[in-house]
């Protein structure tokens, strides 16, 4: 039996160390990781991948921790992939987030993994997708992909989810930016956290009136747990309606394409870099022209 | 005379509207932008591109604004490319940064441009590189590339600079992270801003003892201007030593490669995406296998 198939067997048996090792191997692109993921296969229909996005400081991690608690009350196994801001600097928030998730650290039915996007092109989305698939095979029925809405690769992560929620909070002046960036349109449901703060209802009305298609909007206070049960029901309701409409298949297809593209970029970049470094002298001194020249060599000369 | 050559003439004549239009055109990849940049050429030896990186909250923008003032006292024209955190959300800090730079907004000899990396793969570095080249042709002798150390594309921006400084501040617990991330090694000089805060000297000692090769370290208080003159001299001194050692040529070569690769990724991604979308059914259901299949079709079938 190959190492990969042995590991998949251990992952299916929910061995925490095997799960951690499998995810790490995928993140590090270990030689056995392709075979492992082939054996793992796509996320099955019993598991739901829930994307959580929103700016720093709105309380996403506290909310995620609350959602985990609620799902655990329902006896569901839960996976969390927390994508750190890609900064090489931790900042204060990340540590705080980790502390907030600590309450679940000893629960064997909660699988938590944090990832950073630093230094990778597509790698983050590829690794997050792989981690979600491993967690599904390890019996997690709800898998949360939490990401600060920072950077292309983090945004890709939301394209891996079956359902995506956008979390905002009053008094951060982000509503307009979120709308401009098309994030409200991209989200399946909106959450106004810190609903006990001034301006929460104004923000809710802004969001509701601005979205072209109305979206479910839930008000929460993650620190007290207020509204979290309602959020949970809303997630399930939205997920069911997506599944019924046939959109779930489309989203899984999109997740496949996102993971494939992410992996492709990871494979491609070192090759391009090598060609650029080793044959630098043969390219135009104008980078824009050189880029087209390099592209032609790749594509076989018939590109413009 | 083509539109591009007309615009370059106006840029050389330092027409602020032409400069702004040229940079916007490069950012948006207007059809004329390749020709424009070919005419603009690389940054010449009279201009110095200075990268400023460091975590949020250390006072980079205030420091940049002070440096601009000092260079203006020396009658140098100055360009600033400020790379916003790539979040689709503004956050409070960005607005504050803009306000801090406002003091130079009416100075015709200061060219300021802010850019966001959202939604682009290589585009940010390509756009920042193009902007720096346009600013050089527009007579800017110092061009600052300011970036929060967030994300791959922002990190690329520092690879466009002749000299890079890493700005840290006491009490943020970032020293260890900065070291781990290799940022101290990547920087040519270290700046401890907020030097009047507790812990500034401890941080300075940590940085000095941790770097494998010693680097100039300057203590500043950007809010009062303390140490900024010394920083300015240090930048010039380091730049001269880089130029004397022949490293400047290497760095310009690296900037060329970074801009070329960034541009290439921008050209490549839509093509890959199109192939993936239109022929999705012909690829493996396993993304990692599909990525290799897609790569083979690109490379002409002889890839593993």
* pLDDT tens, position by position, B62-84: 999 999 999 999 999 999 998 76
Assigned domain for A283 exists: no
- Residue B131 and residue B112: Cα distance in Å, rounded? 10
Beta bridge partners of A145: A51, A81
A149 touches chain B (CB under 8 A): yes
For range A182-205, the mean pLDDT? 87
CA dihedral B220, B221, B226, B232 (to 10 degrees): 40
Confidence of residue A118 (pLDDT cuts 50, 70, 90): low
Residues of B whose CB is below 8 A from A149: 87-89
- Residue A60 and residue A154: Cα distance in Å, rounded? 15
- Residue B219 and residue B214: Cα distance in Å, rounded? 15
Same domain as B132, residue B15: no
- Residue B275 and residue B75: Cα distance in Å, rounded? 53
Sheet of strand A110-116: strand arrangement: A110-116, A78-84, A142-148, A48-54, A163-168, A189-192, A217-219
**With contact defined as beta carbons under 8 Å apart, do A33 and A24 qualify?**
no
Write out pLDDT tens, residues A125-172: 889 999 999 999 999 999 999 886 555 555 677 789 999 998 888 876
- Residue B137 and residue B8: Cα distance in Å, rounded? 8
What's the Rg (C-alpha) of chain B?
Answer: 21
Residue in B89, B152, B276 nearest the CB of A121: B152
pLDDT of residue B77: 97
pLDDT of residue A174: 56
A207 touches chain B (CB under 8 A): no
Residue in A55, A119, A295 nearest the CB of B264: A295
Same domain as B265, residue B129: no
DSSP B143: E
Sheet of strand B163-168: strand arrangement: B110-116, B78-84, B142-148, B48-54, B163-168, B189-192, B217-219
Q: Report the 10 Å Cβ neighbour count for B201.
A: 12
Closest CA to B170 of B220, B215, B212: B220
The number of residues in chain A equals 304
The owner of tokens 């932008």 is: B33
For range A240-251, the mean pLDDT? 92
- Residue B184 and residue A271: Cα distance in Å, rounded? 27
- Structural domain boundaries enclosing A28: 1-40
Closest CA to A60 of A77, A84, A78, A76: A84
Assigned domain for B254 exists: no
pLDDT of residue B232: 97
Question: Does pLDDT of A14 surpass 90?
Answer: yes
**With contact defined as beta carbons under 8 Å apart, do A140 and A77 qualify?**
yes
Confidence of residue A92 (pLDDT cuts 50, 70, 90): very low
Do residue A120 and residue B152 have CB atoms under 8 angstroms apart?
A: yes
Long-range CB pairs of B73-77 (<8 Å, 24+ gap) are: B76/B109, B76/B140, B76/B141, B76/B142, B77/B14, B77/B109, B77/B110, B77/B111, B77/B138, B77/B139, B77/B140, B77/B141, B77/B142
pLDDT of residue A232: 97
Total domains in the fold of chain A: 2
- Residue A12 and residue A29: Cα distance in Å, rounded? 21
- Residue B135 and residue B48: Cα distance in Å, rounded? 11
Same domain as B65, residue B179: yes
- Residue A223 and residue B180: Cα distance in Å, rounded? 33
**With contact defined as beta carbons under 8 Å apart, do B25 and B36 qualify?**
yes
Closest CA to B147 of A276, A148, A16, A151: A151
Nearest-neighbour CA in chain A from B74: distance (Å): 32
Do residue B295 and residue A264 have CB atoms under 8 angstroms apart?
A: yes
**With contact defined as beta carbons under 8 Å apart, do B183 and B167 qualify?**
no
Share of chain B above pLDDT 90, in %: 53
CB pairs under 8 A between A and B: 207
Same domain as B176, residue B113: yes
Same domain as A226, residue A120: yes
Closest CA to B115 of B54, B49, B7, B26: B26
pLDDT of residue A93: 39
Residues of A whose CB is below 8 A from B90: 173-174, 177
For range B12-35, the mean pLDDT? 94
Q: For residue B191, how far is the Cα from the chain centroid? A: 17
Nearest chain B residue to A32 by CA: give it.
B288
> Phi-psi region for residue A274, left (φ > 0), alpha (ψ -120 to 50) or beta?
alpha
Nearest-neighbour CA in chain A from B75: distance (Å): 30
Do residue A267 and residue B292 have CB atoms under 8 angstroms apart?
A: yes
Do residue B118 and residue A181 have CB atoms under 8 angstroms apart?
A: yes
Assigned domain for A159 exists: yes
Same domain as A123, residue A97: yes
Do residue B150 and residue A151 have CB atoms under 8 angstroms apart?
A: yes
Same domain as A115, residue A90: yes
Same domain as B89, residue B15: no
Chain A residues 54-83 with a CB less than 8 Å from chain B: 54-56
| Residue-averaged pLDDT of chain A | 84
pLDDT of residue B97: 47
A99 touches chain B (CB under 8 A): no
Residue from A32, A150, A156, A282 whose CB has the most chain B CBs within 10 Å, to mutate: A150
Calculate ∠ Cα B169-B170-B172, nearest 5°: 85
Tokens of A55: 């700016």
Assigned domain for A191 exists: yes
Which of B152 and B36 is assigned the larger pLDDT? B36
Question: Does pLDDT of A223 surpass 70?
Answer: yes
The number of residues in chain B equals 304
Confidence of residue B299 (pLDDT cuts 50, 70, 90): low
pLDDT of residue A265: 85
Residues of B whose CB is below 8 A from A117: 151-152
Closest CA to A85 of A119, A56, A126, A48: A56
Question: Does pLDDT of A95 surpass 50?
Answer: no
Residues of B whose CB is below 8 A from A256: 280, 285, 287, 290
Confidence of residue A212 (pLDDT cuts 50, 70, 90): low
| Residue-averaged pLDDT of chain B | 84
For range B216-235, the mean pLDDT? 96
Nearest-neighbour CA in chain B from A230: distance (Å): 26
In this prediction the pTM is: 0.78
Do residue B272 and residue A291 have CB atoms under 8 angstroms apart?
A: no
Question: Does pLDDT of A287 surpass 60?
Answer: yes
Confidence of residue B144 (pLDDT cuts 50, 70, 90): very high
> How many CA atoms does the CB half-sphere of B244 hold within 13 Å?
6
Assigned domain for B304 exists: no
Confidence of residue B191 (pLDDT cuts 50, 70, 90): very high
- Residue B145 and residue B130: Cα distance in Å, rounded? 12
Question: What ipTM score was computed for the predicted complex, to two decimals?
Answer: 0.84
Do residue B177 and residue A41 have CB atoms under 8 angstroms apart?
A: no
pLDDT of residue A37: 97
Nearest-neighbour CA in chain B from A119: distance (Å): 5
Residues of A whose CB is below 8 A from B257: 273, 276-277, 280
Write out pLDDT tens, residues B90-105: 333 344 445 556 778 7
pLDDT of residue B149: 56
Helices (H), chain A: 3-12, 16-27, 33-40, 60-73, 91-101, 123-137, 152-158, 175-180, 183-186, 200-210, 228-244, 247-278, 287-299
Assigned domain for A71 exists: yes
Nearest-neighbour CA in chain A from B259: distance (Å): 6
Q: What CATH number is associated with residue A111?
A: 3.40.50.300
For range B273-296, the mean pLDDT? 88
Question: Does pLDDT of B172 surpass 90?
Answer: no
pLDDT of residue B106: 83
pLDDT of residue B79: 96
Assigned domain for A235 exists: yes
For range A70-96, the mean pLDDT? 70
For range A210-226, the mean pLDDT? 88
Same domain as A114, residue A34: no
Do residue A88 and residue B180 have CB atoms under 8 angstroms apart?
A: yes
Assigned domain for A273 exists: no
- Residue A262 and residue B223: Cα distance in Å, rounded? 43
Do residue B257 and residue A276 have CB atoms under 8 angstroms apart?
A: yes
Same domain as B113, residue B234: yes
**With contact defined as beta carbons under 8 Å apart, do B176 and B207 qualify?**
no
Do residue B288 and residue A177 have CB atoms under 8 angstroms apart?
A: no
- Residue A46 and residue A26: Cα distance in Å, rounded? 23
pLDDT of residue A89: 43
B198 touches chain A (CB under 8 A): no
Same domain as A34, residue A119: no
Calculate ∠ Cα A267-A270-A273, nearest 5°: 140
Same domain as A120, residue A237: yes
Mark which of A227, A245, A263 sits at the end of a domain.
Answer: A245
Write out pLDDT tens, residues A53-69: 887 778 888 999 999 99
CA dihedral A268, A270, A272, A274 (to 10 degrees): -150
Chain B residues 18-37 with a CB less than 8 Å from chain A: 33-34, 37
B171 touches chain A (CB under 8 A): no
pLDDT of residue B85: 55
Write out pLDDT tens, residues B39-66: 999 999 999 999 998 877 788 889 999 9
pLDDT of residue A195: 95
Least confident of A30-39, A55-64, A100-109, A232-241: A100-109
pLDDT of residue A88: 43
Nearest chain B residue to A253 by CA: give it.
B280
Beta bridge partners of B48: B142
> How many CA atoms does the CB half-sphere of B109 hold within 13 Å?
12
CA distances to A18, A19, A51, A105, A210 from A137, rounded to whole Å, are: 12, 10, 18, 20, 39
Do residue A272 and residue B294 have CB atoms under 8 angstroms apart?
A: no
């Amino acid at each position: 039996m190959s190492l990969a198939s042995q590991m998949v067997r251990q992952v299916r048996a929910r061995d925490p160390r095997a799960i951690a090792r499998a995810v790490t191997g995928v993140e590090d692109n270990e030689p056995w990781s392709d075979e492992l993921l082939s054996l793992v296969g796509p996320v099955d229909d019993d598991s739901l991948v829930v994307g959580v996005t929103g700016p720093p400081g709105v309380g996403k991690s506290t909310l995620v921790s609350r959602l985990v608690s609620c799902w655990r009350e329902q006896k569901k196994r839960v996976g969390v992939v927390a994508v750190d801001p890609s900064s090489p600097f931790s900042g204060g928030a990340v540590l705080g987030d980790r502390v907030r998730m600590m309450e679940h650290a000893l629960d064997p039915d909660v699988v938590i993994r944090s990832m950073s996007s630093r230094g990778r092109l597509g790698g983050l989305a590829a690794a997050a997708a792989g981690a979600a698939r491993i967690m599904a095979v390890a019996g997690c029925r709800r898998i949360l992909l939490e990401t600060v809405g920072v950077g292309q690769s983090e945004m890709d992560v939301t394209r891996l989810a079956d359902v995506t929620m956008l979390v905002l909070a009053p008094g951060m002046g982000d509503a307009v930016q979120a709308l401009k960036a098309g994030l409200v349109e991209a989200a399946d449901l909106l959450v106004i956290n810190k609903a006990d703060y001034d301006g929460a209802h104004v923000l809710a009305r802004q969001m509701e009136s601005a979205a072209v298609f109305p979206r479910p909007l839930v008000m929460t206070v993650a620190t007290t747990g207020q509204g979290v049960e309602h959020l949970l029901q809303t997630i399930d309701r939205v997920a069911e309606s997506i599944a019924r409409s046939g959109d779930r298949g489309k989203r899984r297809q999109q997740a496949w394409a996102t993971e494939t593209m992410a992996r492709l970029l990871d494979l491609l970049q070192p090759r391009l870099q090598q060609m650029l470094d080793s044959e630098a002298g043969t390219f135009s001194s104008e980078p824009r022209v050189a880029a087209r020249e390099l592209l032609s060599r790749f594509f076989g000369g018939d590109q413009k």
